[in-house]
Structure 1
Amino acid sequence: MLRAAACAVAGAALWRPQPARAEVIDLNDAINQAGRQRMLSQRMAKAWLALAQGVEAANARQVLDRSVALFERQLGDLRAYAPNAELRTTYAQLEAAWAGYRAALLAPPAPAAAPALLQADARVLALAHQGTVQYESAQARPVGHLVNLAGRQRMLSQRMAKFYLAAALPEGGATAQAEIAQARGEFLQAMQTLRGAPQATQRIQDELQIADGQWVFFEAALRRIQPGGTPGAKPLSDVFVASENLLSVMDRVTGLYAALKA
């Protein structure tokens, strides 16, 4: 059912970025790309955890390889575009943190290495978020916040999926469930804000309605985790696919907000 809905709505099982540009074009675009770095930090961990457990192996390998390449390209673009010293410092720190995370991601995936990988991904996520907020401050217009907020939804979709996969590892269940619950609440609250924003065009509203439909499938997959237990292979696969579908829609929403000039 998840795959059929994905084909009908998103047209592909894996999210793919828009055609690559050589540089950041404006501050809205910078917020979009900076926020995408947050998402990629979680998406790469999700893919790595899937590979470590033999879940969606071909898709997970493709997701990991493409995400690593995109993260590196955007990191260089965002650091080059940085309009102030504060942002340049953040992206220098992010580049250093990325080196360690990248090495962990490219090592052979194994459950025993998951705790160290998740620590590295948390550091990269924190710095990528810091850079996004700083770019939003540099933009200093209401639409910048909406680009940031919509972009953060992409990250939350991948974060929930990552922790669902982490729950299948020894001693990962309790922490994972708490993280999923927090991210779920933040996601739903942000959807209300995005729907109610005066800047939301009809096209944005239409995409948000599609996102609501994808959320139904994603949340149904997430709820198959059992307190005190671990999910089987089928639920893990369903969450992986559903998170990709939701990501695809929210990336379009973020791009539409980024294209607004008001």
Structure 2
Amino acid sequence: MDRRGFIGRVVLTVGNLAVLSYAIAQVISLNEAINKSGRQRMLSQRLAKAYLQLGQGIEVEQSRKILDTSLASFDKQLAELKTFAPTNDNKQLLSEMEKNWLGYKKVLLEKQPNQQDARLIMVLNEDVLSIAHKATVQLETYSGTAMGQLVNISGRQRMLSQRMAKFYQAQQWGVAPPDVMVKLEAARKDFVAGMTTLQAATSNTLRIRDELALAQQQWMFFDDALRKIGEPKNARQYAINVATTSERILSTMDGITGLYQQLA
């Protein structure tokens, strides 16, 4: 597929999904806003992961789907969060996010995935992540509730799953920052600490406890795949394992975050 075809396909798909989503979705509660703001953090990392996977021909069909749907979701949720924003500080931060997002999205869509742009994406996604995290913490602080904190922590686990996978795929493609192993290990420690906090929450229902147990099992497989980083033998299969296991744990943690949101 040539450059024009790549851009046209993605823009058309994203446009169609966005129109449908704008018509049916709104943020109706503070905990939902925390959930969706936290999901923006995750999408910043998931988009980079999908781009890196496409560039290497890893799970191509699924990676394209991830890129398309994540672009649409980020645009949709940004519009929803801007409409809901409960404070002027939050509104200002979301405006800043929008500026950074437009630059990031431009690079994601401009050309077929390539190593030169991938190195730029490794910078731009961090900027969007930083602002999205600040916006989420703002909403949690505004909430002032223990449940708001759990929604934030659970939602952050989604981001960490994609962040670790992103670093793995960047290292696999030779576009990772020099301190990639330090950052990967920091994300791993944060994820383990987050699981400990969630498992200890006294407000957990039976369903949440069951889902957390499932997430813990998935983490064992995901962590095992991540620890293959840098091994040249079967490197492609290991990269595929990271791609698939990161999606499984993301799906479970997204469901858990929704369950916490509903407890409010």
Question: What's the TM-score, normalizing by structure 2?
Answer: 0.88
Residues 172 and 229, structure 2, Cα contact 8 Å, conserved in 1: no
Q: Identify the residue that residue 77 of structure 1 maps to in structure 2.
A: 80
Q: Shift of residue 105 of structure 1?
A: 0.8
Identity %: 43
Give the Cα–Cα distance (whole angstroms) in 1 for the partners of residues 109 and 178 of structure 2.
Answer: 27
Q: Which of 86, 90, 95 does residue 92 from structure 1 map onto?
A: 95
Q: Identify the residue that residue 7 of structure 1 maps to in structure 2.
A: none
* 1:258 equivalent in alignment to 2:261: yes
Q: Identify the residue that residue 163 of structure 2 maps to in structure 1.
A: 159
Amino acid at match of 1:34: S
Q: Identify the residue that residue 215 of structure 2 maps to in structure 1.
A: 211
CA distance 1:78–1:49, change in 2 (3 Å): same
Amino acid at match of 1:238: N
Q: Counterparts of 1:89-128 in structure 2 under 5 Å?
A: 89-107=92-110, 108-128=112-132
Q: Identify the residue that residue 151 of structure 2 maps to in structure 1.
A: 147
Give the Cα–Cα distance (whole angstroms) in 2 for the partners of residues 113 and 28 of structure 1.
Answer: 36
- Number of equivalenced pairs: 242
Larger deviation: 194-203 or 30-39?
194-203
Q: Which of 226, 229, 238 does residue 230 from structure 2 map onto?
A: 226
Q: Identify the residue that residue 39 of structure 1 maps to in structure 2.
A: 42
Residues 119 and 175, structure 2, Cα contact 8 Å, conserved in 1: no
Structure 1: runs of 5 or more not aligned: 1-18
| Structure 1 segments of 4+ aligned residues over 4 angstroms from their partners | none
Amino acid at match of 1:71: F
SS in 1 for 2:173: coil
Residues 168 and 230, structure 1, Cα contact 8 Å, conserved in 2: no
Higher relative contact order (CA 8 A, sep 6+): 1
Q: Identify the residue that residue 194 of structure 2 maps to in structure 1.
A: 190
More helix as a share of residues? 2
Indicate the RMSD between aligned Cα atoms, in angstroms. Answer: 1.6
SS in 2 for 1:133: helix
Residues 51 and 113, structure 2, Cα contact 8 Å, conserved in 1: yes
Give the Cα–Cα distance (whole angstroms) in 2 for the partners of residues 79 and 155 of structure 1.
Answer: 21
SS in 2 for 1:167: helix
